[in-house]
Amino acid sequence: MINKALKLIRQFHKVRQTELAERFQMSKSYLSEIESGKKPVSFELLEKYSAEFDIPASSLVFFSESLSGKKGMSEKFRSSFSGKILDVIEWLVEKDESKKTKT
């Protein structure tokens, strides 16, 4: 789920994958594989997203499925809650993109 969150954060900030890959000094194809969940997300990459988009790394990690059992939240609840947040972000991105196509 962290991969989807990273992609939506990038889209929300209107940054193209090519631009971000260049800023992070990695290939676009590698960033694409990360965002699609084909490659694992490293802590170093989370720190880069944190700095680039001014989001605490801890907030990014919240979306990671590896945080099972923290603070009494069940995995099912955490996954459901994270999914809902991601759905809202995705909806905002799509809404913004549809406005662009109408103008």
Handedness of CA 57, 63, 68, 72 (dihedral sign): positive
Please report which confidence band the pLDDT of residue 103 belongs to, taking 50, 70 and 90 as the band edges: low
Domains in the chain: how many in total? 1
- CATH code of the domain covering residue 63: 1.10.260.40
Q: 7 vs 19, 25, 74, 83, 99, CA distance in Å?
A: 13, 17, 25, 14, 20
For 42, which DSSP code? P
Mean pLDDT of 69-85: 58
Across 23-34, average pLDDT? 97
Residues of the domain holding 23:
2-102
The answer for residues whose C-beta is within 8 angstroms of residue 55's C-beta and 6 or more apart is 9, 49
pLDDT value at 1 more than 70: yes
pTM more than 0.85: no
**Strand, coil or helix: 28:** helix
**CA–CA separation, 85 vs 61, rounded Å?**
14
